[in-house]
Structure 1
Amino acid sequence: MKKDININDFKVTSPVKIEDLSTTFDLDADKKDIEDELQDVCKDLAKIQNAMYAHGKYAVLICIQGMDTAGKDSMIREVFKELNARGVVVHSFKVPTELELNHDYLWRHYIALPARGKFGVFNRTHYENVLVTRVHPEYILGESLPDVNDLNDIDDAFWEKRFTQINNFEKHIAQNGTIIFKFFLHLSKDEQKNRLLRRLHKEEKNWKFSAGDLEERELWDEYQECYEDAINRTSKDHAPWFTIPADDKPTARYIVAKILYDTLKKYDDIKEPELDDETKANLDEYIKKLENE
């Protein structure tokens, strides 16, 4: 790779304006070089995950958000394919079920959190509750909240309270050993158009298309405003947002993998536990016993 990345170039540490953020990033490398580098980083990431699994003190939560066609599914497939399957769990959150609606909106996310020693990946996340529901506030009525009787009750104070709840949720799990990453895959409207057209033109991709995709595309500006507000209100030291240029999928995957690896390798306390003194002292004896069977 001719050009390395600085993760601070993507980390949100002060208010951002989405329209000023680029949807492209030049790694000064061809597609094959980027894919080769991605594989190397993913293998290094897998080593950290193996040590973390044995260590059993931290969990890692990776939240992936983005507009339709931003590349969330393929991002998850390519970045985490080197990890041991027992150490990573992916949850794709769809429209809430009846059971989920009978609980508070964070319940289904809380019960899906990764155990210590594991990676948890949220494909769409608890932020849908301040993104989709903000663009479509009528969805809130389905939550049967005691203080919300009609759309007039869903005001600025309502959203302020919800952001506070989300910040408290993330602070709580971070204080209890969960390392949080939040990635916004920043796609341009033109590239989304190209990807939707590919879904229509290629028969094997038709199943991915829904007429609802076009309806949501018409609300592009509203979604961008909601993403900007959500990112600015909730990017914290313990739960930072990273804005990832997503017009080129291989580049976006490499940046995400590199951010994960460069951050996690700084946790020098994540180590495989050492054998106890008695076991260490008898290793040669155990080896001989097995070899002489």
Structure 2
Amino acid sequence: MNVNKYKVSGNIQLNTIGTKEVKPDAEKELKKLRKKISELQDTMYAEGKYSVLICLQGMDTAGKDSLIREVFKDVNARGVVVHSFKVPTELELKHDFLWRHYIALPAKGKIGVFNRTHYENVLVTRVHPEYVFSENIPQVTSLEDLDDAFYHSRMERINQFEKHLEESGTIVLKFFLNLSKEEQKDRLLRRLDIPEKNWKFSAGDLKERKLWDKYQECYEDVLNKTSTSYAPWYVVPADDKPTARYIVAKVLLEELKMYNFKEPTLPQKVLDQIDEFKKQLNNE
């Protein structure tokens, strides 16, 4: 599979991109991929120079939670940190819009997963601009201030933020799970039909579904303005969950392999004493 076909490297139109691909052996192949990802994470941790930030965005029911569970199942539990960003808290609203994301970044050697991300600040708030008022931004006094220029300025600050991360040793990979409206309908109905899944359903999902076209327009603008060489977006067909998980894992593995992580070697002074250390232990 050529993962570059999913990368956003120029202006795209979402309505021309397919939402469904089916790889028959996706689950079997995913098992192989995640073992390799686990091995790379172990080496990355030992080297201590890089961290990885995985950003997941998508409409409700796109499969973000299950993707995280399946792709990172074999990675050391201490090596993956997942953050799911909800409505900002009172404390978070007292800071700039990137603050709560910055303090959640992964430490060197670890993989951080943002389940919904800093891009909510140019997606949800663009569909519901009244949300921005809770940030108490001095120059925002009316809805007229929340125009395209406002959101494009935020996108540029996000690009700068991600460039800073890249220069500091964080590998940034961003995935948009491209779900069809028809598949979302089916998944919402399953949540209602299956008692064990009822808890996942929210009436708010239906309200947001009515704004589907607006969300697609905002996503398209984000993908076109914030996919960079140092923090690329990948548009992943999400109607078939096993295939979507495989694609994300494949992209992650291919990207990590390019960094050629190496385990550190012991100082020569310690290497020279290995036989002595063995002797001490064997003589206990």
TM-score bin, normalised by smaller chain: over 0.9
Which of 182, 194, 218 aligns to 2:186? It is 194
Q: Distance in 1 between matches of 2:221 and 2:53?
A: 22
1:16 matches 2:12: yes
1:277 matches 2:268: yes
1:61 matches 2:57: no
Alignment of 1:126-275 (within 5 A): 126-268=118-260, 270-275=261-266
Q: Distance in 1 between matches of 2:153 and 2:26?
A: 42
**Residue of structure 1 in register with 2:277 after alignment:** 286
Q: Distance in 2 between matches of 1:256 and 1:213?
A: 25
1:25 matches 2:21: yes
Contact 2:19–2:239 (Cα < 8 Å) also in 1: yes
2:57 is paired with a residue whose SS is strand
Structure 1 position 279, deviation (Å) = 1.8
Which of 97, 112, 120 aligns to 1:120? It is 112
2:134 is paired with a residue whose SS is helix
Structure 1 position 288, deviation (Å) = 2.6
**Residue of structure 2 in register with 1:86 after alignment:** 78
1:22 is paired with a residue whose SS is coil
Q: Which moved more, 1:211-220 or 1:276-285?
A: 276-285
Q: Distance in 1 between matches of 2:179 and 2:165?
A: 29
Deviations along 1:129-188, whole A, 9 cap, x unmatched? Answer: 000000000001111000001111111221121111111111111111110000000000
Structure 1 position 278, deviation (Å) = 2.0
Q: Distance in 2 between matches of 1:288 and 1:245?
A: 57
The code of the aligned residue for 1:119 comes to I
Q: Distance in 1 between matches of 2:167 and 2:66?
A: 31
Q: Distance in 2 between matches of 1:278 and 1:71?
A: 51
Give the TM-score normalised by the residue count of structure 1: 0.95
Deviations along 1:12-71, whole A, 9 cap, x unmatched? Answer: 1011100011111232x2xxx321210110000011100100111111000000000000
Contact 2:44–2:50 (Cα < 8 Å) also in 1: yes
The code of the aligned residue for 2:223 comes to I
**Residue of structure 2 in register with 1:48 after alignment:** 40
The code of the aligned residue for 1:12 comes to V
Deviations along 1:57-100, whole A, 9 cap, x unmatched? Answer: 11100000000000000000111111111111000000000000
Q: Distance in 1 between matches of 2:159 and 2:266?
A: 39
Contact 2:22–2:240 (Cα < 8 Å) also in 1: no
Structure 1 outlier segments of 4+, above 4 Å: none
How many residue pairs were aligned? 284
Q: Distance in 1 between matches of 2:246 and 2:279?
A: 45
Q: Distance in 1 between matches of 2:192 and 2:283?
A: 64
1:272 is paired with a residue whose SS is coil
Q: Distance in 2 between matches of 1:200 and 1:158?
A: 39
1:98 is paired with a residue whose SS is coil
2:91 is paired with a residue whose SS is helix
Q: Distance in 2 between matches of 1:288 and 1:40?
A: 39
RMSD: 0.9
Q: Distance in 2 between matches of 1:58 and 1:262?
A: 16
Q: Distance in 1 between matches of 2:139 and 2:65?
A: 36
Contact 2:175–2:235 (Cα < 8 Å) also in 1: yes
Deviations along 1:98-128, whole A, 9 cap, x unmatched? Answer: 0001111100000001111111000000000
